[in-house]
Structure 1
Amino acid sequence: MVLSGKKLWMSARDYVMIVVAIFIFGFGFSAFILPEKVVIGGVTGVGTIAYLLTGKTYMIGLTQYAINLVLLGIAYFVVGKQFVVKTIFGATVISLVVTVMPPLFDGPLVPGQPFMNVCIGGIFTGIALGLVFVHNGSTGGTDIVAAIVAKRTNVTIGRTMLFVDFAIISSSFLLTHEIAKVLYGFVVLIITSYMVDLVINTNRQAVQFLI
């Protein structure tokens, strides 16, 4: 019973931290990145493209969730049930957050400083995603694609995510016709990746005593 209670507490703590982390992601994305109309990687980036096409912020979360459902349906048969169950929670919460938060911000929190905004936004989103991974969660999107590809081929998960994110960010040029926006998207990708690694590696640090 003690062991069961401990497992229950750890599981509940993970879910709470995943929700908190996703709200941090939503803040960084909605307050700094989206107002600059910068497309980032992942299905959030695809949702941003849908927003740029329609002008409706709710299209971000709607598009994101629709894509995740399709990918999770494929992953159920390719990767397995356990992966899908763990992923669907994070995918649902992040879709809700990126639907509710963007209308709360009329513009970037740092007006007239697009580079600073994407850097700050990248820091927030990177910390958030790092926390999600540390607490055994996933927000779906390119995570699912990478897991499917890794299951069927020899291509690593990290390389697959990099290729997919690169394609999504690059495609934004067809809409904005501004190379600066594309470069800002890559800046967010680099900073986010760095912060994710920093959070994960910091969490795994240990102290060794030699006697």
Structure 2
Amino acid sequence: MNLNSHKAWIEIKDYTIIVFGLVLYAFGWTSFLLTNEITTGGIAGVSALIFFGTKIPVAISYFTLNALLLIAAIRILGIQFCIRTIFGVIVMTLLLSFFGMYIKEPLITGEPFMSCIIGGILCGAGIGIVFTHNGSTGGTDIIAAMINKYKEISLGRSILYCDFLIISSSYVLFHSIEKIVFGIVVMAVMTYTCDMVINGVRRSIQILIFSEKYEEIADRINKDINRGVTILDGMGWYSKQPKKVLVILAKRNESLSIFRLVKEIDPHAFISQSNVVGVYGEGFDKIKG
């Protein structure tokens, strides 16, 4: 398999898994949350509020709101950030239309809390699968990324603020604290499930790479992954031969791309990956103190 075919296969696999994650999310949200009038965060939550208030199909408002955000994001963040987001929004819109046509009633009747749990698990698992393959469902992810570019507010905190505001807004329609509580439960379950699926993918990692092709690997990591590389001098104790060791600090969700890159250049490379408690400096968290 040549290089172009290998890259094409990886792209196809990523997009296929992203679609699977979006199916889980759309099914869980339509079947267990929307039909029980439970509001979640994100653009899906805003679309649900619009649907409850005006009966405009969620797929229409979901696509329209995301399209407006994407136009702004392309100008601010660039087209590269938005390619997979555009794909995710289009697929999600089609899935919401499909499930919306056939699912009109809750799959579990008279059990809104159980629907919260099951819907939150399905949605969280779906989002986690999408994120682990560098996909996006759009919505508050876009807003958070734009805020993060200009303000010292983390992505997670920005998304949390946006989602809490959207869920709280359901009180205007339903005048029910219970609906807000259900929405917060869904948000908590989704967040926990997503984190379990991703398994700490957004945490930082340290990778050590031992390879004779260290220069080519270092250049590609710099250019393709946009991460810094430090080269240390070492020596194999058994062979008594000098060795070069590449040290990379990266986000956990970048590890798959780094492993694929190293395998492409040198399938016989030796790699060690470890979690780190914190990484501070440019490209990571601000230095504490």
Q: TM-score range by the shorter chain?
A: over 0.9
TM alignment of 1:160-179, pairs within 5 A: 160-179=158-177
Cα deviation for residue 21 of structure 1 reads: 1.1
Counterpart in 1 of 2:119?
A: 121
Shift in Å at residue 202 of structure 1? Answer: 7.2
Q: Give the equivalent residue in structure 2 for 1:88.
A: 86
Separation in structure 1 between the aligned mates of residue 136 and residue 50 of structure 2, nearest angstrom: 22
The amino acid that maps onto 2:21 is: A
Please say which of residues 95-104 and 142-151 is displaced more in the overlay.
95-104
Query: Secondary structure of the equivalent of 2:38?
Result: coil
Q: Which residue of 1 aligns with 2:99?
A: 101
Q: Name which of 149, 152, 155 aligns with 1:154.
A: 152
Unaligned ranges ≥5, structure 2: 202-251, 256-271, 273-289
Please list, as runs of the form range in 1=range in 2, the aligned pairs for 1:1-211 lying within 5 A after superposition: 2-56=2-56, 58=57, 60-201=58-199
- The alpha-carbon deviation at position 30 of structure 1 amounts to 1.2
> After the TM superposition, which segments of 4 or more aligned residues of structure 1 sit over 2 Å from their partners?
none
Please state how far the C-alpha of 1:84 moved relative to its aligned partner. 1.4
Give the Cα separation in 2 of the matches to 1:164 and 1:4. 40
Greater strand percent: which structure? 2
Question: Please, what TM-score do these two structures have when normalized by structure 2?
Answer: 0.68
Higher relative contact order structure (alpha carbons within 8 Å, sequence separation ≥ 6)? 1
SS of equivalent to 2:122: helix
Let me know the Cα RMSD of the aligned residues: 1.9
SS of 1:186 mapped into structure 2:
helix
* Unmatched runs of 5 consecutive residues or more in structure 1: none
- Structure 1 pair 71–106 and aligned structure 2 pair: CA distance change class (3 A): closer
TM-score between the two structures when normalised by the length of structure 1: 0.92
- Counting matched residue pairs gives 206
Q: Which residue of 1 aligns with 2:231?
A: none
Q: Percent identity of the aligned residues?
A: 39
- Note the alpha carbon deviations across 1:65-88, whole angstroms, 9 max, x for none: 111111111111111110111210
User: What do residues 121-159 of structure 1 show as CA deviations (whole Å, max 9, x unaligned)?
Assistant: 000000000000011100100000011001111111000
1:181 is displaced (CA, Å) by 0.8
Greater C-alpha radius of gyration: 2
